[in-house]
Structure 1
């Protein structure tokens, strides 16, 4: 099963500590700066980021993830002597059809949800499409968003979920912990400053959704596809002044909306759509044994599978 894939590599505490420190260092530093920086200075920082050209801001925000995912893969491969396949899935190969289906599903749900909202009340939404900036933004996002979402998924739903799971020997604890930490590491996003800590519910809820997908499907493919589709649509479809990334999206919120109302809509949206998404995936992939897969115990194999390290990435 997925969490047990960690037994295929070396899990000495110092190896795990090094990989965790290197991988999470940028998040921890960002979180500390967010906590200690005065509110006025934090606001100035957000405003200076908004003054950057959108395409440049996208590159500055996303480019570091290309190095981070490379570092994570190298550490897992060299330090833990594990294949990247074992970090991704319990299947014999990565199922790219699952990635594609999940990406398509979140795209449909997002576009339909936006269309309903737009036709119900478009007073706060304005047409923002500019062909050349939009094309540049699409190119940059297709190049760098896979690095960003890949790093977050391989870190939280992959490495940390597996390592925590084999330590505590159950499935529910790593699911909850990685989801909460995933939310905390997004606390410095401008959305949280604009809408308050209630916005953390969106990130933690999304982390739970992605974690449930991973455990029920015994692999990260569905989480990878969902996360990529969600972030691409967030960049391409609509932007707002309080967004973490300022993009040349097709639409822009005018800034007249009430932050509390926006937060309520976000939380209500995930409370409705996320269970529906899970039901669709459960039906398609015939998920069974929910209690065991989400809360069951982890047992160390008597003979670790694939004990001989293979350089197969």
Structure 2
């Protein structure tokens, strides 16, 4: 009943359509003001400030300061989203998060822990097998500053993406289409395509979108099967946090004072298929066993109840209680 949680607020289609637009504008335009102002203060050239080259902007501000201002756009975005949810939809954040009586923080922690462990292990194995591809990049003070920024701000960044795409859009599209497969398909493709302007895509080609779209489907399946965002929130935070702290490169979105720097020439290879077609299915199996998932077909492709059906169901459950 995760999608149907949208009925616990005002759920007319126009509210969702307007909300997607206004929150996006607040996130991308208002959220960018602090970064633009910081760049203007540090740079003498307006053309330099208006560049879309992350490396140039990072060079102007310094990698830690640039990371902070870049992540601040997501903090402003999530404030816009929660504000719109509260005042236009009259919906609680809890109902955008989960169908459970309260947010399950243990689910978030478990998902975070398992993916932080797995992704760190993969990085360690790759460094061991290809030591020439990595350069020791650790500097204590810059790393400690990075760690503070990352631990505070990256979960906000990943939560904004989850709440906006797999939360708000998933519920809105499900309520409008009255099915589950279209929200899953649409939000997964959108999540992947949102990364199309990442420097990794420019460097390695559009084939890497297989990974981003595949990750979108994985997180969407987590959300629908578990009837809540908790597992997706934990996974996404762990993924970006380990990437920011452990390994950086000149051609990635996160250029940080991490422990290692990847100095290899990036090549699009079969290795991007392993997470999507091997690791993610294994994780789905683990999560499914742990949380007792059943009725996969119904949860992923079944219909969404109407508002009247959902109200009647809640009423009958209240009577039984």
Please tell me whether residue 21 in structure 1 is matched to residue 25 in structure 2.
Answer: no
- How far apart in 2 are the matches of 1:134 and 1:128? 9
Equivalent residues in 2 for 1:149-298, closer than 5 Å: 149-254=158-263, 256-261=264-269, 264-298=270-304
Deviation at 1:304, TM superposition (A): 5.0
| 1:48 aligned partner | 56
Can you list the C-alpha shifts for 1:23-67, whole angstroms capped at 9, x where unaligned? 2237888xxxxxxxxxxxx98724412414110110121001111
1:82-121 matched pairs, under 5 angstroms:
82-121=91-130
Gaps of 5+ in 1: 30-41, 308-313
Asked which structure has the greater RCO (Cα within 8 Å, sep 6+), the reply is 1
Greater Cα shift, 18-27 or 165-174: 18-27
CA contact (8 A) 2:10 2:90 kept: yes
Any idea what the Cα deviations from partners look like across 1:238-295, whole Å, max 9, x if unmatched?
A: 11111102111111101x324224xx32233332211111111111111111111011
Of the three residues 152, 155, 158, the one matched with 1:143 is: 152
* Cα separation, partners in 2 of 1:193 and 1:43, compared to 1, 3 Å: farther
- What is the rounded CA distance, in whole Å, between the counterparts of 1:12 and 1:142 in structure 2? 37
Q: Secondary structure at the match of 2:67?
A: helix
Provide the secondary structure at the position in 1 that maps to 2:268: helix
- C-alpha change, 1:44 and 1:216, in structure 2 (3 Å) is closer
Q: Choose 129-138 or 50-59, whichever is displaced more.
A: 50-59
1:127 equivalent in structure 2: 136
| Count of aligned pairs | 293
Counterpart in the other structure of 2:33:
none
Structure 2: how far apart are the matches of 1:60 and 1:235? Answer: 15
* Secondary structure at the counterpart of residue 90 of structure 1: coil
Q: 1:46 to 1:90 in 2, by over 3 A?
A: same
Q: Is the 8 A contact 1:27 1:185 kept in 2?
A: no
Alignment of 1:47-66 (within 5 A): 47-51=55-59, 52-66=61-75
TM (norm. structure 1) is: 0.88
Cα separation, 2, equivalents of 1:25 and 1:194: 28
8 Å Cα contact 1:8/1:304 also seen in 2: no
Q: Residues 28 and 185 of structure 1 are in contact (CA less than 8 Å); yes or no, is this contact kept in structure 2?
A: no
Q: Which of 75, 82, 90 lines up with 1:81 in the alignment?
A: 90
Q: Please name the residue that 1:38 is paired with.
A: none
Moved more, 148-157 or 17-26: 17-26
- Distance across 1 between alignment mates of 2:100 and 2:284: 20
C-alpha distance in structure 2 between counterparts of 1:188 and 1:244, whole Å: 10
Change (3 A) 1:274 1:124: same
Gaps of 5+ in 2: 30-49, 316-321
TM-score of the aligned structures, taking structure 2 as reference length: 0.86
- Runs ≥4 residues deviating over 6 A: 26-29
